[in-house]
Amino acid sequence: MTLTQPTVIPAPRELTTKPRRSDQVFRGIVTLGGMASLVILGLIALFLSLKGVHILKEEKFGFISTSKWEVITDDSGSIAESSFGIGAMLVGTFLCSLIAIIVGVPIAVLGALYLTFYAKGAAKKILVSLIDLMAAFPSLLYGFWGFFIFMSSAEYWAKLLNKYLGFIPFFKVPAPIFERSPFIAGLVLAIMIIPIVTSISREIFDQTPLDRIQAAYALGASKLAMIRAVVIPYGRGGVIGGAMLGLGRAMGETVAVYTVLNVVYQINWQVLFGAGGNVASLILLKFGEAGPYEVDALMAAGLILFILTLFVNAVADLLIHRFGGKGR
């Protein structure tokens, strides 16, 4: 028995809802408010460029690649010669953040696995709250703690590294000054980003589809086997995204690095040696004494930092949303 279609199928009617005036106003206001982020970010890029672009034009690529930062004024106070290059600080940013990621991310992921698959009941609630709280600690606090309390232990580990692994160029030091090194700053940054990465990873692990987990267990898998077969493939992208968010945070960190690291303007690849800096702490350091010309250079540095962190955050966002499971 077949169903007969009517001989003439009418065209679908247009369904329109014209919003009332009050709604139009409402929608307009809300949309404007929503666009605020776009406007603000745009303004940041704009103003930093306005102030800093002439320095970039002068130094051109050398701004990023060279490592001299000096302003020479003549007797009357006007600028005789200047040379701005944040190369050393970019290296420092890179090194400190790298250490932060290498140390912090594995610890954070392991902690997240513990929270999702091992912790139970009240202990789990307390630990989760504790980690959320830790994410809210100001960087000033981490810097202080890092300088006064953590420094001695970290110095000791640095000495150990130098003693046993000193044949690796990274771990050599030109002079036995282990205090306030990029290594220690990196460790403090690691401790700072652990809560962020742990929270994101934990949320992603929590969303692993239960039916796949059950399928693995029903086949006789141990917890490790299940995690390797189901959780990691599912959450891999999102966890990497979380790690990149941590990276962004580490790259832009100012006061913690400033307090812990001995900010010296030189390229220092030997992370155990007590000298170095990152772009953000450079800006802070030079700001107090900078004349208007130098301030423009600092603006340019800020612009570079802004673009860098924007890029890292964009990639992180993409990873978390595309590959990190649904409903974040």
Partner 1 sequence: MTNSNETIEPSPNDKAPEKKMQTQVTPSSLANVAGNRELRVPGTEMLGIGLETRGVHAWFGKKHVLSDVSLDFAAGTVTALIGPSGCGKSTFLRTLNRMHEFIPTAALAGQVLLDGRDIYAPGTDVTKIRLNVGMVFQKPNPFPSMTIGQNVLSGLKLAQIKRGNTDDLLESCLERAGLWSEVKDRLNEHGGALSGGQQQRLCIARSLAVEPQVLLMDEPCSALDPGSTFRIEQTISELAKTMTIVIVTHNMQQAARVSDYTAFFLSDGGPGMMVEVAPTSKIFSSPVDKRTEDYVTGRFG
Partner 2 sequence: MTLITIPEPQRPWETTMKQRASTASILVAAALISWILIEVTGLNGKAGYLTSFFLTSTILIFIQQFRLRDVAAAKDSLLGSFALLGMVITVIPIVSIVSTVVIKGYKGIHFGLFIHDMALNSVNDPINQGGLLHALVGTVIMVGGALIISFPIGALTALYLTEIRGRLSRPIKFLVQAMSGVPSIVAGLFILSSLVYPVTKSLSGLMGSFALSILMIPTIARTAEEMLRLIPHELREAGVALGGTQWRTVAGVILPAAKSGLVTAIILGMARIIGETAPLLLVSGGGDSLNLNPTSGAMGSLPYYIWKAFLTGGTDEAFARAWGGLLVLLAFIFILFGSARFISGRKVN
CB-CB neighbours of 15 under 10 Å: 5
Contacts (CB under 8 A) with partner 1, residues 247-306:
none
Contacts (CB under 8 A) with partner 2, residues 106-165:
106-111, 113-115, 117-119, 127, 129-134, 136-142, 144-145, 148-150, 153, 156-157
Contacts of 12 (CB under 8 A, 6+ apart): none
Which of 56, 101, 251, 271 binds partner 2 (CB under 8 A)? It is: 251
Binding partner selected for residue 324 from partner 2, partner 1, none, CB under the kind-specific 5 to 8 Å limit:
none
Least separation, in Å, of the C-beta of 120 and partner 1? 7
Residue number with CB closer to partner 2 (88 or 227): 227
Cα–Cα distance, 105 to 198 (Å, whole number): 8
Cα–Cα distance, 282 to 91 (Å, whole number): 12
Interface with partner 2, residue 34, by CB under 8 A:
yes
Cα–Cα distance, 188 to 198 (Å, whole number): 16
Residue number with CB closer to partner 1 (235 or 248): 235
Contacts (CB under 8 A) with partner 2, residues 155-214:
156-157, 191, 194-195, 198
CB-CB neighbours of 290 under 10 Å: 15
Contacts (CB under 8 A) with partner 1, residues 109-148:
120
Contacts (CB under 8 A) with partner 2, residues 278-297:
280, 283-284, 287, 295
CB-CB neighbours of 120 under 10 Å: 8
Interface with partner 2, residue 261, by CB under 8 A:
no
Least separation, in Å, of the C-beta of 204 and partner 1? 15
Residue number with CB closer to partner 2 (198 or 208): 198
Cα–Cα distance, 108 to 283 (Å, whole number): 30
Question: Cβ distance 254 to 284 under 8 Å?
Answer: yes
- Terminal CA-to-CA distance of the chain, rounded, Å? 49
Residue number with CB closer to partner 2 (46 or 80): 46
Contacts of 309 (CB under 8 A, 6+ apart): 248, 251, 252
Contacts (CB under 8 A) with partner 1, residues 228-257:
229-230, 233-234
Stretch that binds partner 2, among 22-30, 60-68, 81-89, 169-177 (CB under 8 A): 22-30
Q: 186: which 2 tokens? A: 């990196």
Q: Do strands 79-84 and 69-73 pair parallel, antiparallel, or not at all (unpaired)?
A: antiparallel
Residues that bind partner 1 (CB under 8 A): 120, 211-212, 214-222, 225-226, 229-230, 233-234
